Amino acid sequence: MIIHSHVFEFLSKLEQNNTREWFHDNRLLYEKSLQSISEFANELITKIASFDASVLNETAKTSLFRIYRDLRFSPDKRPYKTHFGIYIVKGGKSKKKVVEVFG
């Protein structure tokens, strides 16, 4: 399992140029980085599934967060996150958590 250096280069450049125009011009670099992170996530899921079978059906698609930020209520209007996020759990990242409060 390895995360290729081009992923870190992309994220570093994105941090310095966090605009839609730059992102559009460098879309291929983003897609290459996303592919590399997806491969890493799939390998990680396989390794975790060896001791936790509940994540066996998960994939990079169900575990990776999108790179686009929600700007609606944020004073920070940068359109992109400067990291990739992976959440590996049965049901994927969109799994609803139920919290019970007893009072």
Specify the pLDDT at position 92: 75
Sort 73 into a burial class: Cβ within 10 Å, 0-12 / 13-18 / 19+.
exposed
Confidence at residue 1, expressed as pLDDT on a 0 to 100 scale: 81
Domain count, the chain: 1
pLDDT of residue 94: 67
Helix axes 27-49, 5-16, angle to 10 degrees: 130
Inter-CA distances, 40 with 29, 77, 78, Å:
17, 29, 26
Domain that holds residue 21: 1-103
Walk along the chain (103 residues) and give the pLDDT tens digit of each residue. Answer: 889 999 999 999 999 999 999 999 999 999 999 999 999 999 999 999 999 998 888 999 999 999 999 999 999 999 999 999 998 888 777 664 444 444 4
Q: What is the pTM of this model?
A: 0.83
pLDDT of residue 98: 40
